[in-house]
Structure 1
Amino acid sequence: MTAEQYQGLNALSQPGEFTELDRFMFESWGYLVIPGVLSADQAQECLEAATRLHERAGTTGWAQVGRGFETEQSLDNLIDHPAVLPKVRALYGDRFILQSAWCTKQPAFGGLGGWHQDGSGAYDFKQLAYPIPLLQLRASYLLTDQSLPRMGNMEMIPGSHRAQVPLPADIRRDKADLPIGHVICAPAGSVLLFHNAVWHRTYIHDGDYDRYTAHYIYSPPWVRFSDRFTNDKDYLERTTPVRRYLAGEYERPDAPFGAGYPATVFDDESK
């Protein structure tokens, strides 16, 4: 079975509440697909913002630009989007940070990416425990249409976050196809929420336009930022208390994440 044929299966969720079915699907497959998070106009606004980021950075080819939320309001609005944040809170509780936010560009007629798990180049997450713990929960906002295969989709291996053995080296070296590869097909404005340990790659992009995705990565509060060394002070002054909290900006009067860690700033007490 080809990746194109397999794409009909989807761990489909709804915006907002993290349901019991969501939890079962996420634990089983390692990811959820949430259609309809952004309207067409909102997705277009975010796409234009992502394009500006790359134009200012002068990127070429496949590239990613971080911390766009500091300068683009439409991207700032995604940090605590009500369609996604309840699911993040259900998985982490109320103490977590936005570790990074990357706008990625796959160029027109882009080829296959390499199979990988998310993590740290300095320390492989699989050294921590089995199963690999949830240390980076990624919410990927699709800013260009990916409703059919070969549109720069993400390809996932369902349930691979629980695998006790690595993906074979020759598969990774050759960027080879797998009979269980699942090409995620969803329109612009959808969100792919996934566990760092799921094996995945960027799929082929046949279009004559650049493909953009905005990735928001949430982590426990002691994980270091990966798209910035510090938060921009001007941004912190003008953003909301919740977003400032998620940016990880707080005092540490005694010890890191000890008594100085602030109480939650969320308006409700639900997880």
Structure 2
Amino acid sequence: MLNPEVAPGPFTDLDKFVFESWGYLLIPSVLTADEAAECYEASRRLHADRDRAFGQIGRGYETEPCLEKLIDHPAVLPKVRGLFGDRFILQASWNTMQPAHGGVGGWHQDGSSAYDFKQLSYPVPLIQLRASFLLTDQTNPGTGNMELIPGSHRSQVPLPAEIRSERGDVPIGHVICAPIGSVLLFHNGVWHRTYRHDGDQDRYTAHYVYSPPWVRAADRFDNNDEFLDNTTPMRHALMGAFERPDAPYGASYEPLPF
């Protein structure tokens, strides 16, 4: 199956061309099976007190060390840096669960319903760059895969309303089939949905959303001081805990400590 696969680490000129063309990249097998299994168990703990239904929980990195390590994973962070430069933040981290035998999700673009990113300019600007760590094997369709529409971040027209309301199929939908531990990196403007899940094992995915430093965090109103005191300098900086956040984030705002 055709996938926009790229190597882990440095953001190459070819990576940029593929991302600009399709709106997403796939980095296969970033985590080992054991690392993915550890993150899967951490995800189960996060969701233990909620109903077994599709949903997401934020800030898992504060209590689960294996999820904290993914914030600045060396296979992924250079790609984020290549697209945003040296100044960006972790805008949110969401851990999502799709129960076994779950149906397809609704088509959408990422962003804020309070003010859609498409209102800012055309094409839809890159405001949220999502890195999704697959914690289950998804080498076949029907395993809780992500389905995206390649290049749709540049479409001048929205996905038809009737398709969205009926959760209908589209002829150019691309179901991502990838092994456990792979990472899908995609632009907020790409139309996407959760594909159906026919298997018997609940599907968990760890998402990390990166944004310019002036974007308000979505998974927290404030940072956890204890977490900031105990994490690494890079992760501390990625939390956007600025001592003096000047309005333009100008001279007083330090780049990330690469």
Band the TM-score falls in, shorter-chain normalisation: over 0.9
Answer yes or no: is 1:147 the counterpart of 2:135.
no
2:236 aligned to 233, 244, 264, which one? 244
Percent identity, aligned pairs only, is: 68
Cα distance in 2 between the residues matched to 1:227 and 1:217: 10
Answer yes or no: is 1:17 the counterpart of 2:10.
yes
CA contact (8 A) 2:246 2:253 kept: no
CA contact (8 A) 1:15 1:36 kept: no
Deviations 1:189-216 (A, max 9, x none): 0000000000000000001121000000
CA contact (8 A) 1:251 1:260 kept: no
Q: Which runs of 5+ in 1 are unaligned?
A: 1-7, 267-271
1:167 aligned to 131, 154, 159, which one? 159
Could you say what secondary structure the match of 1:79 adopts? helix
Residue 229 of structure 1: how far off its partner (Å): 0.5
Residue 258 of structure 1: how far off its partner (Å): 3.2
- Structure 1 equivalent of residue 82 of structure 2: 90
Using structure 1 for the length normalisation, give the TM-score.
0.93
Taking a change above 3 Å as real, the CA distance of residues 173 and 22 of structure 1, as seen in their structure-2 partners, is: same
Q: Which runs of 5+ in 2 are unaligned?
A: none
Using structure 2 for the length normalisation, give the TM-score.
0.98
- Structure 1 equivalent of residue 99 of structure 2: 107
Residue 21 of structure 1: how far off its partner (Å): 1.2
Cα distance in 2 between the residues matched to 1:81 and 1:200: 24
2:225 aligned to 233, 251, 254, which one? 233
- Structure 1 equivalent of residue 119 of structure 2: 127
Letter in structure 2 aligned against 1:229: F
Cα distance in 1 between the residues matched to 2:113 and 2:52: 23
Residue correspondence of structure 1 range 171-190 to structure 2 within 5 A:
171-190=163-182
Taking a change above 3 Å as real, the CA distance of residues 263 and 20 of structure 1, as seen in their structure-2 partners, is: closer
Residue 71 of structure 1: how far off its partner (Å): 0.7
Residue 60 of structure 1: how far off its partner (Å): 2.9
Residue 254 of structure 1: how far off its partner (Å): 5.0
Q: How many residues align?
A: 258
Cα distance in 1 between the residues matched to 2:106 and 2:69: 31
Could you say what secondary structure the match of 2:45 adopts? helix
Cα distance in 1 between the residues matched to 2:57 and 2:126: 24
Letter in structure 1 aligned against 2:43: A
Cα distance in 1 between the residues matched to 2:255 and 2:18: 31
CA contact (8 A) 1:98 1:246 kept: yes
Superposed CA RMSD in Å reads 1.1
Could you say what secondary structure the match of 1:78 adopts? helix
Cα distance in 2 between the residues matched to 1:189 and 1:145: 8
- Structure 2 equivalent of residue 5 of structure 1: none
Could you say what secondary structure the match of 1:146 adopts? coil
